[in-house]
């Protein structure tokens, strides 16, 4: 909510007045105000002013809003991709990488909404929502997390089921005709699940809700699935998978920022997205340039990055 209005009716012996003020939610400043006079309350409700003139309330109180913002465009873009994916599947066309892009985006948005929902139980957050109106959360964490399931659960389940069915079917055909190497069937074709697994294991090696000291043993092998994916996928998809890994592990590791400050988690995700996107562009290029020694370049670049 960006604007709110207050209205007062003053009735006196010769008529009544209607005073309306439109204020900005954030600052509380008056953006537009006007007073309308009529000979009686009945005429005022009919939109008739003094001397029978028409009260043009809409013209006198009109004001501009910022309209669709950047976040709205992101959501609209995500829904457009989902629509395109559904149409391709409906007409029997191969969606290709689109299904992975949509599913990964839905997973990131779901995790963010689920973690950020922890703020709903905080008293200061509810007071901020009530007085400023800049954040929209439910009355409790459980309810807000339920809303997150309603928003993204169907997309994750339907797209995930279709992705599994399509990949298994394709792998069976390749196995029968022996078209692909086993590494392709078990790693490359399941690239996104391996990347998600790698991100989860990497995050759990740090202090988390699972173990407050972190599971250090995971750090020895958690990145192997990611490295195999980067070595076997095309450069463009390698950048995509690497960026997805970076954002997912950042969300899980920094889950506690969901209740720290209402914008901190947003900034962390944006920062890691840009950081890993730039790093993956360089890393994928190094892998392609190094040829058969790519596995050494991946590990060396990762250590240098940190």
Query: Tens digit of pLDDT for each residue in 122-163?
Result: 555 555 555 555 556 656 777 877 888 888 899 999 999 989
Please tell me whether residues 156 and 300 are part of one structural domain.
yes
Please tell me whether residues 29 and 158 are part of one structural domain.
no
248 vs 107: CA distance, rounded Å? 9
- Which H or E run includes 17? strand 15-24
Please tell me whether residues 147 and 240 are part of one structural domain.
yes
Please tell me whether residues 55 and 115 are part of one structural domain.
no
**Residues 273 and 243 sit within 8 Å (Cβ to Cβ):** yes
229 vs 241: CA distance, rounded Å? 8
89 vs 163: CA distance, rounded Å? 11
Domain count, the chain: 2
Please tell me whether residues 21 and 164 are part of one structural domain.
no
**Residues 112 and 251 sit within 8 Å (Cβ to Cβ):** yes
229 vs 178: CA distance, rounded Å? 21
Please tell me whether residues 150 and 189 are part of one structural domain.
yes
Residue range 152-165, pLDDT digits in tens: 899 999 999 989 98
CB atoms near residue 88 (< 10 Å): 15
Q: Residue 20's domain spans which residues?
A: 3-61
Please tell me whether residues 44 and 132 are part of one structural domain.
no
Please tell me whether residues 7 and 138 are part of one structural domain.
no
Average pLDDT over residues 171-179: 69
202 vs 214: CA distance, rounded Å? 10
Residue range 76-115, pLDDT digits in tens: 888 888 888 888 888 888 888 899 999 999 999 898 888 8
């Amino acid at each position: 909510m960006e604007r709110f209005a207050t209205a007062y009716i003053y009735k006196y012996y010769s008529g009544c007045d209607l005073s309306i003020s439109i204020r900005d939610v954030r600052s509380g400043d008056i953006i537009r105000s006007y007073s309308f006079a009529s000979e009686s309350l009945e005429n005022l409700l009919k939109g008739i002013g003094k001397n029978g003139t028409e009260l043009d309330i809409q013209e006198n109180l009109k004001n501009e809003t910022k309209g669709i913002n950047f976040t709205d465009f992101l959501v609209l873009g995500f829904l457009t991709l989902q629509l395109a994916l559904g149409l391709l599947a409906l007409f029997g066309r191969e969606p290709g990488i689109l299904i992975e892009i949509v599913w990964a985006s839905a997973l990131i948005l779901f995790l963010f909404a689920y973690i950020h929902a922890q703020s709903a139980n905080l008293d200061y957050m509810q007071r901020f929502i009530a007085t400023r109106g800049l954040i929209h959360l439910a009355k409790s964490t459980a309810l807000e997390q339920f809303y997150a399931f309603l928003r993204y659960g169907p997309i994750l389940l339907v797209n995930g089921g279709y992705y599994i069915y399509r990949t298994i079917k394709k792998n069976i055909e390749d196995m029968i005709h022996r078209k692909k190497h086993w590494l392709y069937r078990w790693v490359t074709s399941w690239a996104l699940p391996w990347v998600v697994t790698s991100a989860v294991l990497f995050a759990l090696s740090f202090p988390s809700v699972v173990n407050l000291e972190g599971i250090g043993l995971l750090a020895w092998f958690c990145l192997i699935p990611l490295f195999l994916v980067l070595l076997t996928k095309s450069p463009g998809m390698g950048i995509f998978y690497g960026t997805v890994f970076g954002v997912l592990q950042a969300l899980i590791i920094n889950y506690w920022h969901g209740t720290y400050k209402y914008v901190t988690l947003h900034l962390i995700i944006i920062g890691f997205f840009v950081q890993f996107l730039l790093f993956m562009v360089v890393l994928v290029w190094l892998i392609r340039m190094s040829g058969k020694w790519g596995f050494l370049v991946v590990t060396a670049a990762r250590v240098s990055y940190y």
